[in-house]
Structure 1
């Protein structure tokens, strides 16, 4: 993105001349009360230096930046240099986004060539405003996120103004704080913050920066910025009533406004940009690669290296490798000690493809054979190399699921069968004994491709980034742990499409990974997996159509399966139609944040948290699943402000005889259901007979011993008998006890005192937003949000019902 910052002073109330509005500590103040091309100079005397100067103008009331898709525009104030200070601003964009990743506005401080801190505010689809803090280390291609994104406001529509502020102070560590909020609402506390004590911290004075960036997948946009100000110290730049004031940063958040009505969903609001549309800047000194499959070239734009692996071998740590458009049929290993960025050339389609073109088939009866086919991929299914657990993973109804071979004819996947005698149109057989590939569809005049590689990319270099390309059709066995795998600390994987691979698309272990804006689809077993991957963040990704080979739902399958990891954040993703399982967190996960996601269309469970401890599950939609949300042998969970609709069972709490197997984790993660709070959820029942269930499979505990606290929920069912039960509750040796009404359930559990059950007309619309009629229940039903829940969602604590993000 480069610098994408517009720093501004915030004005509320009477408009006054710039000099009157500027706080006494202001170094810069600019109200743009002039008309000119470019931005010229602020009334306080500082001149702007512009990159992409033709995009800047002033119209007498604001500074404007006109952006085409993929463009950024940068302004700086080189006459200003300070160590500690605050910049802030008022912004708007001239459109509402229904696709792409929207416009990013950033406030930059301590800028010097190649280095800066920035608070980034992104206006996204569905009117969301996301805020995060990052640091640039030497070039625009080397950006490190140091405070994760969070949604801080909704309802950002065309012309809707909002404020952003960014404060930086200190040297060891450097303290960074940012906040953003709608014009006309109270100033919140700092919403995103971090202390940078790393060796790469920026501990010297620098200039503020001004600029914007527009996603390559969004439509042309004009950004308006008003009242640019830079002030000394970490004080607010806000003024009220046209009178200059300098305010200390508030310490408590003000209530957030009620969210805007949810718009209809858009298919492109999450996931990667299409392959060929990524537009990352190419830094000076970049290494170029062309898809030749050769160890040739010098790595320049005029004479690119002939393969990615050759470029990796030739590169030193810190380099950016730029892939020219084409198909790369290779396996790439990034070794230890090399922190590389591997990215597609702007607007060029780059695919890593594990399949090769195949020709030379001979007809024999009703089939066609290719002789000399010696590819022999391991069909044993296990996370451990050499072990075979196919009996657990493979559904007997789909016996070839564990065989990673793949064949495509004119792009259409063919089905693998177990013998030559079974081959018919649309199928193929790999005759290992006879070294033959046998097809049931006539390949004459058609493009035939078959998998010949097992792995695409393995990352062993810390701080490596992969972005902007596609990965498909690798015959990845389960023991390879992902067609793409990040196996050391702090990998960034973004804007990748990973599809049609034999088992797992993407897998991570080690700590600090950032996965964002990914499309993981049609992979044989699972979209994404992780183990011992502390502080991993998965954000704004589309995980759909995985478990394409129809493996058993257990031990692992579906959209996502993570285990043995602390501090994982799963934010603003869509999990849709991944067979039985959507997202599954299992075996000693701890401190999980699951917010802003959609789990839809899974035959068994949309979201399962099992054998783990401490989770926030908030602001999610779980719809049209077998089970909406399931909590199994897990404690310390807050289930707040979710919308659960059309699931056979909305909520499930299960306990069995298993207890923590690692003695050192017994106190931290005991594998016991306890301390569960369930509030402010909208729960529209489906057809299942027990829409809310607690159950002890060892037939010892009663539901009231599970430590489940339910209150402030809005329930709905078609009628008093559809479904017949309101809930079913663990009942010791008797199994479960059913309750027909909320009143009966409330009397038995002592909970749900403020909850309400409606019957008849549905309480959710077709897009699962709460209907206006049902929304009137908010004042009597909803509870004040727990502070950790509100912080995780990025809103105030004022009562509200159901998911806050848009479906």
Structure 2
């Protein structure tokens, strides 16, 4: 018989031809492949031992309730048929918040490989949507490969084991940081072996090339070791989500398969993450502990860390602190491993959740890292039970966690009273109280008295050691933060990779859940989420933060001070200032102060309550490159009382404050940015503060006074090849003002050229430009030509009037890029910083 090469096999991805005749050809090709002993999924075949097709379902029938039967007569049993249908080309699953939906095909197989195309109909409003492909499904449990789509668009793949209602995630990996509803993803899942099961999974955009297996794990569960069971397809929507959602399923294929057991890359035991309970669903599929099903938010992908040294110590959630710390006899806690380790040693942490505060002490440089492919969490919360009904809500006695509620960086001090210096917003008086409670994964709001309790609120009675809830906790998962700090790195030249952090309760003066306190520290490849105040703080020189995700911090995502030489690369800081501290003096995505030689690049500082990126108080020689600063409630970018900066190839859009505020900062190069918003787009302002005035706060005490590099006077500012788009609001596109009445724009040496000005119409905003005249009122210009003629600025620039000049992805449209010939040739120094060709011509940010 003719050998079937990859090009002879039809893909198992979605049928994009629009012709139903392709589907019989698909099934015929699969049958032929099976006869030849070849298993094919998506674009590339995977040769294994001879196999039998168990299920091949192209979903080319119409069923109004349930999924009916495959063309070979195998029926599907749905737990709730009304949530299932087949529309003639795809299977449909309606996802109802808090309820499992699944259809089972009884194939009675142990070793098998299955593939299916799955698309999500929408992003969940909160929490996550899951799509499940389960195998060896019996009354005792099953193995499952799942796609998990979060409300942020993050899509991850995980392998899990469920036995007797308890689910353990064995392995997980991020597939996309920006998945879109409607996009079909192909999932392959393979299981072989008895005694120890070998599990493999991968997920990729349907129709694209098939990657190598992305997840590989071994599991020795007695209940599932050699079980023959059914194939199960289904989904789940977080109980906290509002409204129903759905999945579309197509091209389901499952075959018997026999493969040799996978070899572990290290002579170490299989990961043993702490079990996370998943109660068995009721008759309607309700899962009370929906938010506790997986190991939590998926961390960014780890970078290349190199081979694990033979001298490494190991930690496992199933280890023992009395053991030797070897791969086969791991320790139980990170703290014990650090105590046992010698300076320079590597500590490898197996997947799972660890409830401890960790300190790397001074004088002991360590490399703390996750085991390859496994997800590690330091979790500052614990499950809370023992509530009883009270006259107003529910109460737990013996609650003796008493966190510091200091609202400023000085422990024990009261809040500042000077204007714009108070931390606490009177509308959110409990912001500085680090107590945190979640019920079924939904964060509760702290109130100041029992009388203010209501559903969704909690109160801590410190005098009587009681925790009060306004929501009935019966049958629900209740978790509360009980630890202050996650990780204090107090030894130089240490590194931390893949040690994720969640639900810790640092107060404001604790500086952060994770603190890098000595020179030469690297923090990378991890997530920090749901911390009470600040996620990450850097307070020493030559530190690196790379591929870190910080979300839902109570006050600030990341802070850095006295951090000369800091490099921030691929930071994703979103949804921070969750507790709604005042925007000033501290809030938002990332704030840096009193630091020299800092680079922030390739990062996303989006959707924060406050500024996206704020450089303040004597920051010298900064480079802000290739970032997205989008949809923050404060300014997108703020440079304040600082000096010497390059701002290039950033997208700064949809922020509620000024898009870019430049305040008392000299020697700034602004090149090829896309800057847009409903307020002043580039707002260059001067006030009365001067670096020569020692009484003005904000000096770097490490520098001599006066600091000759720092004047706090706007001067030598160049802005070229930028898009300045005002989408309706404020009173100007560009503004240069001196509130102290000391300097004209010419004296500030502002240089503008080859920029695109955009406004909604000729009167919105009122002015094209505001231009300082020194002591008197500034000059105003209603059009760009009038501004250029009067000032000699903006040669080769142009003004557009339309609803928008940006695409939905915040890139300049052809109305701008069609005029790229008017751009100033990109200088070699700027080109080198942003990775573009010298002398290239473009207006606005470069594509990425």
- In which range does the TM-score fall when normalised by the shorter chain? 0.5 to 0.7
Match of 2:614 among 579, 584, 607: 584
Match of 2:790 among 748, 771, 774: 748
How far, CA to CA, are the matches of 1:438 and 1:292 in structure 2?
34
CA contact (8 A) 2:722 2:845 kept: no
CA contact (8 A) 1:614 1:637 kept: yes
Summarize the Cα distance change of 1:100–1:676 in structure 2 as closer, same or farther, 3 Å threshold. Answer: farther
Where do 5+ consecutive residues of structure 1 fail to align?
1-53, 55-97, 102-123, 127-214, 223-271
Is 2:760 the counterpart of 1:699?
no
Match of 2:327 among 301, 307, 314: 301
Give the match for residue 456 of structure 1.
486
How far, CA to CA, are the matches of 1:517 and 1:597 in structure 2?
13
1:109-258 alignment runs, 5 A limit: none
Give the match for residue 120 of structure 2.
none
Is 2:586 the counterpart of 1:556?
yes
| Post-superposition offset of 1:415 | 0.2
Give the match for residue 776 of structure 1.
818
Summarize the Cα distance change of 1:608–1:220 in structure 2 as closer, same or farther, 3 Å threshold. Answer: farther
Is the partner of 2:830 in helix, strand or coil? helix
Give the match for residue 375 of structure 1.
401
Give the match for residue 641 of structure 1.
672
Is 2:808 the counterpart of 1:766?
yes
Which deviations, in whole Å up to 9, do the C-alpha atoms of 1:282-330 show, x marking residues without a partner?
3322211123697432101222112101100100122111112221111
Which deviations, in whole Å up to 9, do the C-alpha atoms of 1:234-289 show, x marking residues without a partner?
xxxxxxxxxxxxxxxxxxxxxxxxxxxxxxxxxxxxxx993496485433222111
Summarize the Cα distance change of 1:344–1:542 in structure 2 as closer, same or farther, 3 Å threshold. Answer: same
| Post-superposition offset of 1:723 | 2.1
Give the match for residue 361 of structure 1.
387
Which deviations, in whole Å up to 9, do the C-alpha atoms of 1:346-394 show, x marking residues without a partner?
2222111111221111111231111111111111122233333265101
Deviates more, 1:318-327 or 1:531-540: 318-327
Where do 5+ consecutive residues of structure 2 fail to align?
1-46, 48-152, 157-175, 179-201, 213-295
How far, CA to CA, are the matches of 2:494 and 2:557 in structure 1?
21
Deviates more, 1:390-399 or 1:540-549: 390-399
Summarize the Cα distance change of 1:100–1:786 in structure 2 as closer, same or farther, 3 Å threshold. Answer: farther
Is 2:541 the counterpart of 1:499?
no
Summarize the Cα distance change of 1:655–1:792 in structure 2 as closer, same or farther, 3 Å threshold. Answer: same
| Post-superposition offset of 1:774 | 2.8
Summarize the Cα distance change of 1:523–1:99 in structure 2 as closer, same or farther, 3 Å threshold. Answer: closer
Summarize the Cα distance change of 1:665–1:297 in structure 2 as closer, same or farther, 3 Å threshold. Answer: farther
Q: Which has the larger radius of gyration?
A: 2
How far, CA to CA, are the matches of 2:481 and 2:155 in structure 1?
32
How far, CA to CA, are the matches of 1:293 and 1:617 in structure 2?
49
CA RMSD, 1 decimal: 2.6
CA contact (8 A) 2:628 2:652 kept: yes
Give the match for residue 185 of structure 2.
none
Deviates more, 1:716-725 or 1:580-589: 716-725
Give the match for residue 480 of structure 1.
510
CA contact (8 A) 1:355 1:449 kept: yes
Is the partner of 1:605 in helix, strand or coil? coil
How far, CA to CA, are the matches of 1:582 and 1:798 in structure 2?
30
How far, CA to CA, are the matches of 2:839 and 2:804 in structure 1?
25
Summarize the Cα distance change of 1:353–1:216 in structure 2 as closer, same or farther, 3 Å threshold. Answer: farther
How far, CA to CA, are the matches of 1:533 and 1:216 in structure 2?
40
CA contact (8 A) 2:599 2:624 kept: yes
How far, CA to CA, are the matches of 2:436 and 2:177 in structure 1?
36
CA contact (8 A) 1:718 1:759 kept: yes
CA contact (8 A) 1:297 1:303 kept: yes
CA contact (8 A) 2:381 2:503 kept: yes
| Post-superposition offset of 1:485 | 0.6
Which deviations, in whole Å up to 9, do the C-alpha atoms of 1:154-173 show, x marking residues without a partner?
xxxxxxxxxxxxxxxxxxxx
Alignment size in residue pairs = 551
1:465-614 alignment runs, 5 A limit: 465-614=495-644
Is 2:721 the counterpart of 1:680?
yes
CA contact (8 A) 1:99 1:217 kept: no
| Post-superposition offset of 1:773 | 4.0
How far, CA to CA, are the matches of 2:757 and 2:829 in structure 1?
24
Is the partner of 1:309 in helix, strand or coil? helix
CA contact (8 A) 2:660 2:682 kept: yes
Which deviations, in whole Å up to 9, do the C-alpha atoms of 1:72-111 show, x marking residues without a partner?
xxxxxxxxxxxxxxxxxxxxxxxxxx9999xxxxxxxxxx
Match of 1:333 among 340, 346, 359: 359
Which deviations, in whole Å up to 9, do the C-alpha atoms of 1:699-742 show, x marking residues without a partner?
33333322211111111223222222101222434443321011
CA contact (8 A) 1:508 1:530 kept: yes
Summarize the Cα distance change of 1:276–1:737 in structure 2 as closer, same or farther, 3 Å threshold. Answer: closer
| Post-superposition offset of 1:511 | 1.2
Give the match for residue 418 of structure 1.
448
Match of 1:318 among 332, 340, 344: 344
Give the match for residue 410 of structure 2.
384
How far, CA to CA, are the matches of 2:744 and 2:322 in structure 1?
70
| Post-superposition offset of 1:694 | 1.5
Summarize the Cα distance change of 1:525–1:99 in structure 2 as closer, same or farther, 3 Å threshold. Answer: closer
| Post-superposition offset of 1:509 | 1.5
| Post-superposition offset of 1:600 | 0.6
Give the match for residue 65 of structure 1.
none
Summarize the Cα distance change of 1:778–1:803 in structure 2 as closer, same or farther, 3 Å threshold. Answer: closer
Which deviations, in whole Å up to 9, do the C-alpha atoms of 1:534-580 show, x marking residues without a partner?
11111112110001011101111100110111110000001111112
CA contact (8 A) 2:346 2:368 kept: yes
CA contact (8 A) 1:649 1:685 kept: yes
How far, CA to CA, are the matches of 1:125 and 1:641 in structure 2?
25
Summarize the Cα distance change of 1:276–1:298 in structure 2 as closer, same or farther, 3 Å threshold. Answer: farther
Give the match for residue 655 of structure 1.
686
How far, CA to CA, are the matches of 1:746 and 1:277 in structure 2?
49
How far, CA to CA, are the matches of 2:738 and 2:300 in structure 1?
52
CA contact (8 A) 1:566 1:591 kept: yes
Summarize the Cα distance change of 1:305–1:276 in structure 2 as closer, same or farther, 3 Å threshold. Answer: farther
Summarize the Cα distance change of 1:536–1:100 in structure 2 as closer, same or farther, 3 Å threshold. Answer: farther
How far, CA to CA, are the matches of 1:568 and 1:328 in structure 2?
33
Structure with greater contact order relative to length (CA < 8 Å, sep ≥ 6) = 1
Give the match for residue 126 of structure 2.
none
Match of 1:794 among 835, 838, 841: 835
Misfit runs of 4+, over 4 Å: 98-101, 215-222, 276-281
